[in-house]
Chains A and B, each alone.
Chain A
Amino acid sequence: MAVAVQNAPGQPAQTHADVTRDVVATLAPATKGYYLLLAGAVGLFLIGASTLLLIVKEGLGLAGYNPPVFWSVFITTFVFWVGIGHAGTLISAILFLFRSPWRTAVYRATEAMTVFAVMTAALFPIIHIGRQWLFYWLLPYPNQRYLWPNFKSPLLWDVFAIGTYFTVSTSFLIFGLTPDVAAVRDKATGWRKTVYSMLSMNWQGTDNQWRHYSRAYLYLAALAAPLVLSVHSVVSWDFASALIPGWHGTIFAPYFVAGAIYSGVGMVFTLLIPLRKYLKLEHMITDYHFDNMAKLTLFTGTILFYAYGMEYFVAWYSGNTFEQTTFFRRAFGPGWWAGWSMIIPNAVLSQLLWFRKVRTNLTSLFVLSIFINIGMWFERYVIINSLTSDYIPYAWDQMTPTWADWGILAGSFGWFGMWFLLFAKNFPVVAIQEIKEFIPMPRQRAGGHH
């Protein structure tokens, strides 16, 4: 007789056929609500795209490009989106290597979030360079003037870091999707079957395919894992290697990485809490998963708390007037509202997650996640704001974002949302094959393996 299936971590008893059926069901024709959301995202994206066209026509001066801060909202948003991506790779690669069972149900959605967030971030350097059609000047290629880019500049490291991050995380996502796309193919009919057949790249789940696949997945995870730590470290060096008060700190790399994961898990909450309800995946993505992700948020939020405190301590303890002035102005200067918009949500509100009731209440998590998104955007805004008051008070001035900055910011959310929504309705957002790994197959004889 078949032995009854056990619970996979955080999930009720279900069979392999249930898993395939429930996940494939999420790809059913979309409702009106979905199309409304998608239209909203496309609308926002079009606002961004038209703003960019105007910037190309009129010049970067349309955005708040005024001394002493030139690349204000654009770089803020760039760092914000790169950071969002990090939680996805942490959950998909690092937790895979640690064999953490709770990653299974959520990693696909977070990995997709990573890819789309990095796609969004990558737009900002291109927007900022002004002449977008010359973006390839960033790459080392043989040219008439025998010039090579400056390999000692963190900005060039960033080109390689973001390029690698995007390529590797996209490959990792597509690679992990292949067996699931094959499972969808085998349930689909009509033209959708043809499309999924092509995308499944002949996947049939043979012993030979799994043998190479499982090994390769392990290696890809091992290669992607250090990217989680390295990419945002490189982004932080864009700032830390400049002699600007408020930027020139050795704490920057770990501080940025913790912030990135914190903001990324925040975005996962914002996306997954409504998504699992809409796709009826409540029995797969459960309180157990949210509780664990909330603990990750608490951990990284606490690191941020420490980092913020340490920045103030170092400014005071260094005895350096410029550092002290910068940090005094962060809290009490003209940009005080931004300074507190960063400290309160990130350092203070994250501490609410010590309470289990907050961690398992999805409404409170969702509300908190919105604050996390806002707080982390302001963290980067505050860091850029350091440029407004460096060594010579004569040169001090405020940041002056214009409608063009906000247009591009709105466009970035639209672009990200559009890709995420399209993904969620056309590909399995829960990894079918990995959920099955946790559900024992039926046996003729009683007793398990090992």
Chain B
Amino acid sequence: MAKVTSGVLASFEHIDAACDTIKALRARGHRKLTVYYSHPNHEIEEACGHQSSPVRLFTLIGGLTGTTAAFSMQIWMNRDWPLLVGGKSIVAIPAFVVIGFELTVLIGSLATLLGVFLLSVGMRNKGVIYDERYTDDRIGVFVPAGAADAAGIEKLLRDAGAVEVKHAAA
């Protein structure tokens, strides 16, 4: 049985209520919130105040690896078995551009996917409770908290317009 993170989970129907709550909680020092929502939404993203995703580094490094790998592979293989074709020089850079481009895209994309997997999808939100309506039409806000704080947080969430509040105890 996975360890459960203790805390309070609130469901919202209204986006403005959810965003205000997230901002209020963050202002009160709750930094480890988990917010669930069903579609990319920049209003919620703004409220959460995240910095840009580091996935772009994976894309950049993957892409550059692809370019380098493609050109070095083609240059080395052509020099390893020098064969004159179509009057081109043995190392004919313009002819290598196509594969250089293709491998940039290929390895760049695969590295991006690996980045997302390592950063988020593969690392499931272990032990944090979830509700199936969050992929439908509700917004969920989970506030990690001990038993002592739970009642106060529940009140804040209900006052802010949460339609449902659940507690999770470790």
Which residues of A pack against B, CB within 8 Å?
2, 15-17, 20, 140, 146-148, 150-154, 156-157, 160-161, 163-164, 167-168, 171-172, 175, 178-179, 182-183, 185-187, 201-216, 219-220, 223-224, 226-227, 230, 234, 432-434, 436-437, 440-445, 449
- Contact residues in B for A226 (Cβ distance below 8 Å): 101, 105
**CA distance in complex: A216, B62 (Å):** 13
- Contact residues in B for A167 (Cβ distance below 8 Å): 106, 109-110
Q: Are A445 and B16 in contact (CB under 8 A)?
A: yes
- Residue B149 is within 8 A (CB to CB) of chain A in the complex: no
**CA distance in complex: A172, B108 (Å):** 12
6 contacts between A and B (CB under 8 A): A16-B137, A204-B134, A207-B35, A209-B120, A212-B121, A437-B40
- Contact residues in B for A432 (Cβ distance below 8 Å): 38-39
- Contact residues in B for A204 (Cβ distance below 8 Å): 36, 124-125, 130, 134-135
Nearest CB of B to A32, in Å:
31
- Contact residues in A for B106 (Cβ distance below 8 Å): 163-164, 167-168
What 1/0 flags go to B152-167 for Cβ under 8 Å of A?
A: 0000000001000000
- Residue B147 is within 8 A (CB to CB) of chain A in the complex: no
Residue of B whose beta carbon sits closest to that of A215: B53
- Contact residues in B for A211 (Cβ distance below 8 Å): 45, 48, 50, 53, 120
Q: Are B80 and A148 in contact (CB under 8 A)?
A: yes
With known contacts A16-B38, A206-B35, A437-B39, A219–B78 Cβ distance under 8 A: no
Q: Are A443 and B15 in contact (CB under 8 A)?
A: yes
Residue of B whose beta carbon sits closest to that of A233: B98
With known contacts A152-B88, A449-B43, A442–B14 Cβ distance under 8 A: yes
**CA distance in complex: A411, B139 (Å):** 47
Looking at B40, B43, B112, B135, the one whose CB has the most chain A CB atoms below 10 A away is: B135
With known contacts A206-B34, A442-B13, A442-B15, A213–B77 Cβ distance under 8 A: no
Q: Are B137 and A20 in contact (CB under 8 A)?
A: yes
With known contacts A202-B124, A214-B40, A219–B14 Cβ distance under 8 A: no
Q: Are B52 and A215 in contact (CB under 8 A)?
A: yes
- Residue B17 is within 8 A (CB to CB) of chain A in the complex: yes
- Residue B83 is within 8 A (CB to CB) of chain A in the complex: yes
Nearest CB of B to A285, in Å:
18
Q: Are A157 and B85 in contact (CB under 8 A)?
A: no
15 additional contacts (CB under 8 A) given A212-B55, A215-B53: A20-B135, A151-B78, A160-B99, A164-B105, A171-B109, A182-B135, A204-B130, A205-B37, A206-B35, A207-B37, A214-B53, A219-B59, A219-B108, A230-B101, A449-B16
- Contact residues in B for A213 (Cβ distance below 8 Å): 40, 116, 120-121
Q: Are A146 and B132 in contact (CB under 8 A)?
A: no
Number of A-B contacts (CB under 8 A): 210
From A148, A163, A207, A219, give the contact of B50 (CB < 8 A).
A207
What 1/0 flags go to B109-126 for Cβ under 8 Å of A?
A: 110110111011110110
Q: Are B105 and A207 in contact (CB under 8 A)?
A: no
Which residues of B pack against A, CB within 8 Å?
13-17, 33-41, 43-45, 48, 50, 52-53, 55-56, 59, 63, 73-74, 77-78, 80-81, 83, 85-86, 88, 92, 95-96, 98-99, 101-103, 105-106, 108-110, 112-113, 115-117, 119-122, 124-125, 130, 132-137, 139, 161
Q: Are A179 and B135 in contact (CB under 8 A)?
A: yes
With known contacts A20-B136, A220-B109, A436-B39, A150–B98 Cβ distance under 8 A: no
- Contact residues in B for A433 (Cβ distance below 8 Å): 38-40
**CA distance in complex: A227, B134 (Å):** 35
Nearest CB of B to A436, in Å:
4
Q: Are A168 and B109 in contact (CB under 8 A)?
A: yes
**CA distance in complex: A114, B40 (Å):** 24
Q: Are A148 and B81 in contact (CB under 8 A)?
A: yes
**CA distance in complex: A175, B36 (Å):** 18
Q: Are A175 and B14 in contact (CB under 8 A)?
A: no
- Contact residues in B for A185 (Cβ distance below 8 Å): 135
Residue of B whose beta carbon sits closest to that of A2: B14
- Contact residues in A for B53 (Cβ distance below 8 Å): 211-212, 214-216
- Contact residues in A for B103 (Cβ distance below 8 Å): 160, 164
**CA distance in complex: A445, B15 (Å):** 10
- Contact residues in A for B86 (Cβ distance below 8 Å): 152
From B56, B95, B109, give the contact of A215 (CB < 8 A).
B56
**CA distance in complex: A175, B66 (Å):** 21
**CA distance in complex: A398, B77 (Å):** 40
**CA distance in complex: A444, B14 (Å):** 6
- Contact residues in A for B34 (Cβ distance below 8 Å): 206-208
